[in-house]
Structures are given as structure tokens and as C-alpha cells.
Structure 1
Amino acid sequence: MSDTAPSDPPLARTPLHALHVAHGARMVPFAGFEMPVQYRGMIAEHEHTRAAASLFDVAHMGIASVEAPDRSLEETAAALETVVPGGITTLAPDRSRYTFLTNDRAGIVDDLFVSHTGSGFTLVLNAARIDTDLAHLQEQLPSGVRIELRRDRGLLALQGPHAVNALGRLAPEVRELSFMDGATVSVDGVDVRVSRSGYTGEDGFELAAAADDLAPLAERMLAQEEVAFAGLGARDSLRLEAGLCLYGQDLDETTTPVEAGLTWAIPKRRRGPDGGYPGAETVARQLEQGPERVRVGVRLVGRRLARPGAELTDPDTAPLGPLTSGSHGPTVGGPIGMGYVPPTHTEPGTPLVAVERGRPLDAQVAALPFVPHRVVR
């Protein structure tokens, strides 16, 4: 037996690591990777995204292709519908759709995007869930359909109201895309799969390219006058103001789509007990009878923050549920969060208390999103 303590595995690095360091990023561990949390400061990067355009490194996330050589595209789409509640058979070419993997109790194994490229389907998976997702998919999918993780590909996200100007200068055809549209374009001879989507509530694009092309592509984007790097800190505050869930905090395998307020991502034809995906019976029952808890926005009174894990109570200290996300909202101008409460406490303005490290902080239920989305539809 060794007398030395086992060490953690080394952190992985994205193809942009050297570029982050050169731009003065503060690097932190995140989902097994060394990632930039900020460059000039979270608030400055948040505000720049709202006003211009920011470039985010999201190459830690997993890109996977769906391989089904003996099936037609229609048959492959039907196979995917056996593992997700989203409408994949109705997904048009060059379109993407938000959905989730569910277990037999309708708990969310992961949330993900499915894209129809015209010749096949690709998935974008959360970095910390890649191994779990791949195992779940291979166990649940019919024989003859397999998922291949594309480690040779990576993602960047260009977000903000001027993103279309910056990218449109290099690939004019992206100006014609609407929210969740996709296309393959050339940027200085590099093939880039573009989706007009993102995780900030702002207009923007996600750019998928060969891993070896990511750093030159990032430098080309940063050379545009509107664009600056932004890190994980701003990404988190932006998505929270937009009311978007973070897996591992707002979503997990004990949380259902109905509880999380994500029923909009399930087409009506799949909301019944015969929806054809794991946990369909639970979703149907909760839609009929109501869930026991619901995700809500939380607005704190004053300037003190409440962090994920704080307990939400009513003013008489009766426990209600957990605060799952919490941060300063630069655009909102104060501390905000999201959490789960009983259906009796979901009306905006309902008084709450967030107990942060034993200290009670006055709060109230707030409507989501905190900041309206500005995507182009």
C-alpha cells in the first residue's frame, strides 16, 4: 500500500488554452478542464456581451454524431425519439432543437441540443456528463444506432447584439439565419458549422470546427472590432439573467422537465403516457395532477448574494426548497437566483427567505427570465 495520497487526474485543456493565457485569463478547474473564468472582470465581460459581442470557449463540451448506416434519416430520427421527449422526427434539415435525456422516472440525465445537418444528426452534450450520456444513449438506443464522440471537433460561442455583424463580415450568409437555424460556411477557408443559438439570451452563434482550426478561428473573430473574450463568470451571470438552466445545479436526475418548467420543449403529441421515451408516464401524470415543486426566479432584497445550496423558506421559516443558482445580475442591478418551491409559492412577488450560511436574507419570487431574450426569430 502506498503511503502517498492519490492525486486528481490532470485537467484537460481546450485548443484555445494558450490563447486564453496570452489574453490574461484567470484559469480555473471546470468539468475536468482548465477553463477561463474571467479576463477583464466578470461584470465588464457581461456588459460587453450585452452591448457588443463576446467570444466564449465552449470546446470542453461534447460533440457527438449519430451513426446509423443501415437506417434512413427518418428511421434514425424515430430511433432518437425513443430516448428524448423532443420532436426529432419533425426536425427540419439545418435546424436544431433543445431537448433532454430522461430516465425511467423522468429525471433529467442531461439537457442537450440535437441538430439536423441535412445528412445526419449531431448532439451537443454537457462536458461533465459526456461519459454518462454516451453510456445512457448506447443502452437505450435500438440496435444499429450508435453515438460517436467527435474529439476532432470543438465549439466556440459568439454572443451579443453585434455578433451578426462580426461573423457576417466573414461569412455574409449567416445574416439570413434565424434562431436555431444552421448552415455550413467558410471563414478564411475553414469549414465552420454555424448555428444561430447560444446560452446567454442574446443573439449569437455557436461555431463548430475542426479542433486544429479553433484557435485560428478564435483569433480571426477576436480581430473584429466588436469582439472580446469572455469567461465562465459572465457566461453564468448571462444565462441566469436569461432564466436558463445549468445542469448539475438547476437540473439533475431527480428533476423532471415539468418541475423545471421545460414542458415547452416537449411537443403536445408526446406529452401523454404513451410518449415513447423514458419517464413519459411521470411527465403525463405531473402535467395532469401538477408537480410537487416548480422552478422559479428569486430576487433578493438588498445587495447580499445567496449561493446555490441556500435554503428557501417562507417568512415563517417553513422550508420550501433549495436555491439552485445564485449570482449578481449586472443587468438586473442586484442579486438574483433560481430555485424550487411548492406550486403554492410560485406567484411573482411571493415573499421568501434565502438562508445563506445561517443568515436569513429577504427575497421574493420573480418572473423568468429576469432579462428578456433578444434572439432573432
Structure 2
Amino acid sequence: MAENQTENLLKTPLFDLHVELGAKMVPFAGYEMPVQYPLGVKKEHLQTRDQAGLFDVSHMGQIKLTGANAAAALEKLVPVDIIDLPAGKQRYALFTNEQGGIMDDLMVTNYGDWIYVVVNAACKEQDIAHMRSNLGDDVALEVLDDRALVAIQGPTAAAAVARIQPAVSDMVFMDSRIMEIDGVECFVSRSGYTGEDGFEISIPADQAERLCRLFLEQPEIEAIGLGARDSLRLESGLCLYGHDLNQTTTPIEGSLIWAISKVRRADGERAGGFPGADKILEQIAEKNWETKRVGLVSSGKAPVREGTELVDADGNNIGTVTSGTLGPSAGVPVAMGYVTKEFAALDSEVFAVVRGKQVPMTVSRMPFVEQRYYRG
């Protein structure tokens, strides 16, 4: 990479710590981010599945919405129930456009007198502009760019973090709390992007490195890079925006009907009312979608990568792989992609065109490994 390109990249509050820990830094969504540490991607993946890992996700956008109408205003932009989101709870949401496509996926938390929104790094500026333009003058939007965001994930994450702040033990999946950790006020949710139990913790930027050193002192926790984060989320059947979802994909085509709250799709005064609702609700009612996101397991040994063409037995194009890896925990090459309606059923056989050869793949249920969120 040219030197001036490197200089233009942003750094998270944990940049110096990554370098000290021997991370390989790469450009990602406008930031210099750690793709792996000396442990290596596969061992980092297995460390997170077996014990716990710490991920820097400070490149993501953190936004605070205040105002009596904040929940109702945000609900007009997403196909999700925000008005009835209980205080102290988090919910997965989607920004949709007028064509029913997905502009971004995001997390929304109700902290009682304000709403906390976390958006993807690559969509951050677009999402902030979208909210500023559409939430109305009585909703105040503050970008929390003075905070870091870290995820601690894995089956021993809760025990490790509880050693420092015992109150996290009282939380279950999708709970959110504002609490002090070693004297620092943090926003803590019991959630994550790996399929494992764990937490996402927003920390004031000037305290982030100190707290992360404290987390990494716990024997269960290792620093984990973006490489393992990607293989972990793919094994867990979780989408990566810009790869598995985009502005031309509707939630129905993206197999995210579960992310459309029932109150927004049933008959009633709050049904619809979000961008693209007519198309999305028609797709639900009429089942008139043409392609769908599915899980795929390969019969070969090599990973089937993003962009690989999918064909039927006669070599006719039926879709494309959007994410693919050799699953370190699954033990087989796993992928997700889009296929036409007639091949979307479980156990359908399709073929990936890899170096001119047709590699058999089976449409499979996701996640490819069991999700282990703590629900109490």
C-alpha cells in the first residue's frame, strides 16, 4: 500500500496496543485494523470457540438518540418494533430503502431516556446522514466518536469479565446495562457476532487501552483479529453487510424474515410504515421472491470463496457465493450465498465452479455450528 494511503487511514483507540501485541494491521472500512496476531487465524478462531477472545470493533459507529419521540421516529426507518423495546434490552434491526433493499443492519438499545444505535463501519456516514435527514427536529442525534467498542466472546467470557465486574453475571442474551468496570462507566450488552456467549462493551476512548489490558490479563482471554471474527460469524450463519446483504437485497431474499417484527407485518396500525414496506410485505404474503440466501456445505476439501459462481447439474447459473471459508470448528468448507427459488430448499444439490470444475455443495441449515448465547 502506498504510504499516503496508510496515512489516510483512521486508528482506533487500541491501535498502539495491537501493534505492541504483534498484530498484522490491514486497511478495513477506512481504519487500520488487526487481521490477526502471532497466534494465527485458525488458533484465534478455536480460542474463541473453546475459551474467550477480545475483538476491537471500535471502527463501528456508535450513536445516541434523545427526545420523547426518538423511538417512534426510528421505528419509521426500520421494520422492527422499537416503541415497545423494553428498557435495558437490545434488538437487531435493518435500515431499508424505498425499493425494499437493506441499507445496513444495526443494533438498537433502549437505555430508558435515550436510544443507543451501533451501525457498521462502512455504512457509518450514510447511516448518520439517513437518520439526520429523517428522524425529525425533535430528535437529537449525537455521534459518540470518543468511545471505543470491544467484544469479549466465548464460553468462558462471562466468568472472566465477572471477575472484574460481577454484575455481568445477572445479564442474559440481548440485555444491556450501563455499569462501571474498574471505575469506568461502560455500556455493556450480552451479545456478539460469533455465535458464542459474550459481551460488547463501549468504553470511553481514553480508558479503552487500560481496560483492555485488564481484560487480557484474565487467563481465558486472548486478542483476536478480523480474520477469525469472519470465520466465526460465518460458521454461526451471521451476515456480513456489503457481502451477504446489500442495497438490492430485501430482508426476505436475505432470509431475515425473523428480523421483521410481527407488529410491523400483521394487520394493525403499526404494520408497514417503513421504507420499502410495500415490496417487503408483498414478498412475505405472495412468496414472490426469486433468489434467497442459503447455507452451503461443500463435499470438497478446499474453501469455496466469495464471488464463486453456483450452477445446476447442467451448468446453468443459479446463483453466487457471498461468503465462504474452511470452517475450523465445523471441519468442512462452509459458505453462504444466493440461489434461485427452485434450489433454495434444504438438501438441494448445487455446484460451485472452482477453477473450471464443478464442486458439489449441499444447501444446509444455518448456523453450521451451534449458537451458544446465554438465555438464562
User: Which interval holds the TM-score relative to the shorter structure?
Assistant: over 0.9
What's 1:245 paired with? 239
- Deviations along 1:120-164, one digit per CA (max 9) or x if unpaired, are 001001001111111112222233224221111120000000000
Per the TM alignment, residue 55 of structure 1 is displaced from its structure 2 partner at its CA by 0.3
What's 1:16 paired with? 14
CA distance in 2, matches of 1:140, 1:160: 38
**Amino acid aligned to 2:280:** V
**Counterpart of 2:366 in 1: which secondary structure?**
coil
**Counterpart of 2:324 in 1: which secondary structure?**
strand
Q: Is the contact between residue 66 and residue 139 of structure 2 (CA under 8 Å) also seen in structure 1? A: yes
Q: Please give the TM-score of this superposition, normalised by the length of structure 1.
A: 0.95
**Counterpart of 1:170 in 2: which secondary structure?**
coil
- Extract structure 1 runs of 4+ deviating beyond 6 A: none
Q: Please give the TM-score of this superposition, normalised by the length of structure 2.
A: 0.95
Per the TM alignment, residue 272 of structure 1 is displaced from its structure 2 partner at its CA by 5.3
Sequence identity, in percent? 47
Give the stretch that moved more between structures: 180-189 or 108-117.
180-189
What's 2:145 paired with? 151
Q: Is the contact between residue 271 and residue 283 of structure 1 (CA under 8 Å) also seen in structure 2? A: no
Corresponding residue to 2:88 among 63, 82, 94: 94
Report whether the alignment pairs 1:288 with 2:285. Answer: yes
**Counterpart of 1:156 in 2: which secondary structure?**
strand
CA distance in 1, matches of 2:247, 2:298: 28
CA distance in 1, matches of 2:354, 2:238: 22
> Unaligned stretches of 5+ in structure 2?
none
What's 2:63 paired with? 64
Cα RMSD, aligned residues only: 1.5
**Counterpart of 2:99 in 1: which secondary structure?**
coil
Report whether the alignment pairs 1:367 with 2:361. Answer: no
Per the TM alignment, residue 258 of structure 1 is displaced from its structure 2 partner at its CA by 0.8
**Amino acid aligned to 2:312:** D
Per the TM alignment, residue 345 of structure 1 is displaced from its structure 2 partner at its CA by 1.0
**Counterpart of 1:284 in 2: which secondary structure?**
helix
**Counterpart of 2:222 in 1: which secondary structure?**
strand
Corresponding residue to 2:351 among 345, 353, 364: 353
What's 1:200 paired with? 194
- Deviations along 1:55-101, one digit per CA (max 9) or x if unpaired, are 00001111011133xxx2xx221111111111101101111000010
Corresponding residue to 2:322 among 315, 324, 332: 324
**Amino acid aligned to 1:324:** T
CA distance in 2, matches of 1:284, 1:128: 28
Aligned positions of 1:164-243 closer than 5 A: 164-243=158-237
CA distance in 1, matches of 2:182, 2:170: 19
**Amino acid aligned to 2:274:** Y
Against the structure 1 CA distance between its residues 272 and 138, is the aligned structure 2 distance closer, same or farther, given a 3 Å change threshold?
farther
Give the stretch that moved more between structures: 286-295 or 156-165.
286-295
- Deviations along 1:322-356, one digit per CA (max 9) or x if unpaired, are 11001110111021110011222122221111123
**Amino acid aligned to 1:27:** M
**Amino acid aligned to 1:122:** Y
What's 2:305 paired with? 307
**Counterpart of 2:8 in 1: which secondary structure?**
coil
